Amino acid sequence: MHPIEILTANLPALLDGLWMTIKLTGLGAIAAGLCAPWLALARANGPRWAQWGLRGYISFIRGTPILAQLFLVFYGSGQFRPFLTDIGLWSFFRDPFNCALLVFAVNSCAYQTEILRGAISAVPRGQIEGAHALGLKRWQVLRFITFPNAYRMAWPALGNEVILLMKASALASIVTVFELMGRTRQIFSRSFDLSVYLWAAVFYLALTAGFVFLWRLAERRLSHHLRQGDAP
C-alpha cells in the first residue's frame, strides 16, 4: 500500500495512541515534578540519612533499564497478588497503564531530583542570606528565592528530561499499553507494512518539536526580567 494510504487508513488509531503517549508522559512528568523539589531539598540540605537514602534511590533508578523497572512492577506485583488483594491495591497493579505511569513517575522523579539538587545548590548564598536578613520566613525564602532561581537554572535540563520520558513511554507498549508505539506495532503486525513505523517516527519527532517550542516559550517567561532592552 502507498504510505499515505497507510496513514489515512490508520489515522484514528495512531492519533489515539499519540494522545495516550501524551497522557502517559504528561501525567508521569507532573507527578514526578510534584515530588522532585522536596526530595531535591532533602538531597541538598536534608539530614544525613535522608541524603543517603535518596542517593541510593537515584543511583538505582539511573543504573537500571527502565524496561526492567517496568517489568519489576508490572509482572513482579503478581508475586504479591494475595497481599495486594487484601489491602485493595491489586486492581491498581493489574492495569498496565497504572504500572507504566507509576514507573515513569518514580523514574522521572529521580532524574528531576538530581537536576534540581544541582540547581538548588547553585543558588547564590548571598541571596538567601539577604532574604533572611530582610526577615523572610523559611518558606518565603523557598517560595521567592530558592525555587524561582533553581527552576530558571534547571529549566533546559528539565525539558530534556521530559523528552527522555516521552521516548521512554514507548516501552509501555511492551506491557500492552496502546500508546503510539503500541498502536504502531499493532498496525504493523496486521499489515507488515514498514511505512507505519516511519509514520510513528514522524509523530514522535513532531511531538518533540512541539514540546521544545512550548518549553522555550515558558523559558522566556521565566527569565523575562533578565533580558536586556525589553520595555518593562
Binding residue for another protein, selected from 25, 77, 108, 113, defined by CB under 8 A: 77
Q: Does 201 bind another protein (CB under 8 A)?
A: yes
What does the alpha-carbon distance between residue 85 and residue 89 come to, in Å, rounded to a whole number?
A: 6
Which of 47, 48, 49, 63 touches another protein (CB under 8 A)? 63
Residue among 97, 208, 215, 222 that touches another protein (CB under 8 A): 208
Dig out the grid coordinates for 171 from the structure. 516501552
Number of residues that bind another protein (CB under 8 A): 38
Q: How far is the CB of 163 from another protein (least distance, A)?
A: 8
Kindly state whether residue 79 participates in binding another protein, applying the rule CB under 8 A.
yes
Residue closer to another protein by CB (options 69, 112) is 69
- Long-range pairs, 32-36, Cβ under 8 A, ≥24: 32/104, 32/105, 32/106, 32/107, 32/108, 32/109, 32/111, 32/112, 32/165, 33/112, 33/158, 35/105, 35/109, 35/113, 36/109, 36/112, 36/113, 36/115, 36/116
Report CA-CA distances (Å) from 136 to 41, 116, 133, 151.
18, 22, 7, 20
158/200 with CB nearer another protein: 200
Distance of CA 1 to the CA centre of its chain: 37
Q: Quick check: 68 binds another protein (CB under 8 A)?
A: yes
- State yes or no: residue 13 binds another protein (CB under 8 A): no
User: Which residue ranges make up the site for another protein (CB under 8 A)?
Assistant: 59-60, 62-69, 71-72, 75-80, 163, 167-171, 173-174, 181, 184-185, 188, 194, 197-198, 200-201, 204-205, 208
